[in-house]
A and B are shown apart, each in its own frame.
Chain A
Amino acid sequence: MGMTTADEIEARILDLLSAKVKSETAVTRETNIVADTGLDSVSVMDFVLELEDEFDINIPLDRIAEVKTVADLAKAVQDLGKTS
C-alpha cells in the first residue's frame, strides 16, 4: 500500500467508479461523486466498501462526508493508507 502513488490510486478509483455509473458522461478526477454520477448516498457508501477492500484500509464515514470529487476521494484513500 505504501508504494501506491496518488496517480495510481486515482486511476483505480476511476476504473471502479466508471463501472458503477450508468450515465453517459465520462467520470473524471473532477467528477462530483454525488451530484454528477446519479448514485444515491447509500450507493456511495457501498462503493466505499469496495474501495476499503481494494486498498486494504478502513474509511470512516466522516471522511466520506468531506469528499466531493474523485480527486478528494483519492487524497483521502492515500492519507488513510499512510496511517494504517
Chain B
Amino acid sequence: MGLKDRIAAVEANYGRLRALGRDPSRLEFQNVWSPTEATLEGRPMMLFGTNNYLGLTFDPNVLEAATAATRALGSGTTGSRIANGSYGGHKALEAEIARFYAKQHCIVFSTGYVANIGMITALGGKDDVLLIDADSHASIYDGCKMADAETIRFRHNSPEDLAKKLRRLEGHPGDKIIIVEGIYSMLGDTAPLAEFAAVKREAGDNVYLMVDEAHSLGVLGESGRGQCQAAHVEDDCDFIVGTFSKSVGTIGGYCVSNVEGFDWIRSFCRPYMFTASMTPGTVSTARAAFRRMAERPELRAKLWSNSAALFRGLGDLGFETGPEVSPVVAVKLPAPEVAVALWNRLIDEGVYTNIAIPPATPNALSLLRVSVSAAHSEAQIERALGVFASVGAELGIIEPGTARGERFQVITGGAAAKEAGRTRTAQQGSANAAATR
C-alpha cells in the first residue's frame, strides 16, 4: 500500500468521526497558564487530559533551574553523548536517579519513547525472546519490531498466560525478557508485579523482568519509585524504565538496573547513540523535579485523594470506569460515536479530556481518558463532575437525577458552591454547570 492509499484509508476511517466535531489530533491550546488550566478556542479550559500527575510543570524551583541552566549552558547540546560528549548535568542526573532507586546504574535517554526502544533493542538480541503484555504501549511494540529477538505477546495482566508461554520455551537457549508496565495508560490499571516476579523467578536463569514505570513514577510506592516499589519486588525488576514527560514534567527517559556491565549498553544501543542528548534545560528541569518530588510527598497524597474523588464521583454518576482507583480514570463508552460526542460536549463546557477509540485501545474499547493532577483543586474536580453529570445525561449515557446522581449532589454540592468563583475557570465552569443542570 502506497502513501496515497494509506492517507485515503485513514481519511475514510476517521472522516466520519471527525465530521461529528473537533479533530483531537489538531487541537491547539492558545495559552497554558497552570498545570490544570489553558485556553482552547479562545475560552478557558480545565485540563483533565494530561500526564501532569504531580503538577510540577509550573513549580517555581523547577522553572528557575531550567532557566538558569539554559542561560549558563545554552539551548541545546547539538549532538549525541557518544559522538559529542556528555555534559556534567547528564552524569549528575544519572547518579541522582540511580540513588533515588537505590540501584547501581542509570542511563538517561532523550525521550521516554527512545528509552523503551533503546532498552528493548539492546536487550533483545538475535536468539532471545521478548515476552510482552498484550496492552503494552506503542513504544514497547515498536522496540520489539526493531529488535532482532522474537516477540511473544501474553494476555494483559495474566501471570498464568506468561508462565504458560515461558514453559513452552523450556530448553530455549536465549535470554527471555518479560516486559510489563506499572500503570497502563488507557485504563489506569496496575500490573500484578508480585505475581509476575514469581513467574520470572520460577522460569530460571537468563529470564529478566523489565518494568515501564512511565505512568507510575512519582505516583506509586512509598517514595514514589513506582509499582515495583509498591509491590515490594524491586530486586526482581532487572530493568526499570521511565520517562520525564509525566510526573517529572519535561521530556527525556531513563533505565535503572543492578545488572553487571549495564553501562556498556551505551556502546551498542543505537537509539542512545544516534540521537541528540537532552538539553541543559531539560536535564536541569528533571533534576529539580526529582528533588521536588522527594521534598513534597504531600503531592502524591493529594494526587491520590483527587483520584479517588474523580473515580468515585464518575462511578456514582453512573459512568462505567476502569477497574481501580487511579490517576488515570477511564470512562468506558458503548461506541466511538458516543465517545466523540461526549468528548466534544465536555470541551464545549470547559473540560478537556483525552479520547481513545479502536484500534488504539485494548479490547476494541471506546473511552475517554480522564487524568488527575495533584494540582487540581477540589472545586475543579467537583465542577468537572458537574459537567460530566449534565452532559452525560443530555447525551443519554447516564440517567438524569438517578439516586446515584442525587447522592453525588449531596456529597459535593456544598463545597462546590463554597469554592465557586475562585478563579477565572471557576466562574466559567460553574456558570455552565448551572445552566445545563
Contact = CB atoms under 8 A, between A and B. Distances in A.
Interface string B140-156: 00001100001111110
A61 B120 CA distance: 15
A58 B168 contact: yes
Contact of B362 (A42, A59, A84): A42
A40 B161 CA distance: 23
Contacts of A58: 152, 165, 168-169
A49 B153 contact: yes
B134 interface: yes
Contacts of B168: 56-58, 84
B359 interface: yes
B359 A42 contact: yes
Question: How extensive is the interface on chain B, given as a class?
Answer: 10 to 19
A52 B92 CA distance: 46
Contacts of A84: 168
A42 B358 contact: yes
Contacts of A52: 165
Given A60-B151, A61-B153, A62-B150, A40 B134 contact: no
Interface residues of chain B: helix, strand, loop or mixed (majority): mixed
B411 interface: no
B73 interface: no
Determine which residue in B134, B153, B364 has the highest number of CB atoms from chain A within 10 A of its CB, and name it. Answer: B153
Interface in B157-180: 161, 165, 168-169
A62 B364 CA distance: 22
B134 A60 contact: no
Contacts of B165: 52, 58
B364 A40 contact: yes
Determine which residue in A45, A46, A58, A84 has the highest number of CB atoms from chain B within 10 A of its CB, and name it. Answer: A58
A5 interface: no
Interface of B: 129, 134, 144-145, 150-155, 161, 165, 168-169, 358-359, 362-364
Interface of A: 40-43, 45-46, 48-49, 52, 56-62, 84
18 contacts: A42-B359, A43-B359, A43-B364, A45-B153, A46-B134, A49-B155, A49-B161, A57-B168, A58-B165, A60-B129, A60-B150, A60-B151, A60-B152, A61-B145, A61-B150, A61-B153, A62-B151, A84-B168
Given A48-B153, A60-B150, 20 more contacts: A40-B358, A40-B359, A41-B359, A42-B358, A42-B359, A42-B364, A43-B359, A45-B153, A46-B134, A46-B363, A49-B134, A49-B155, A49-B161, A52-B165, A60-B129, A60-B151, A61-B145, A61-B150, A61-B153, A62-B150
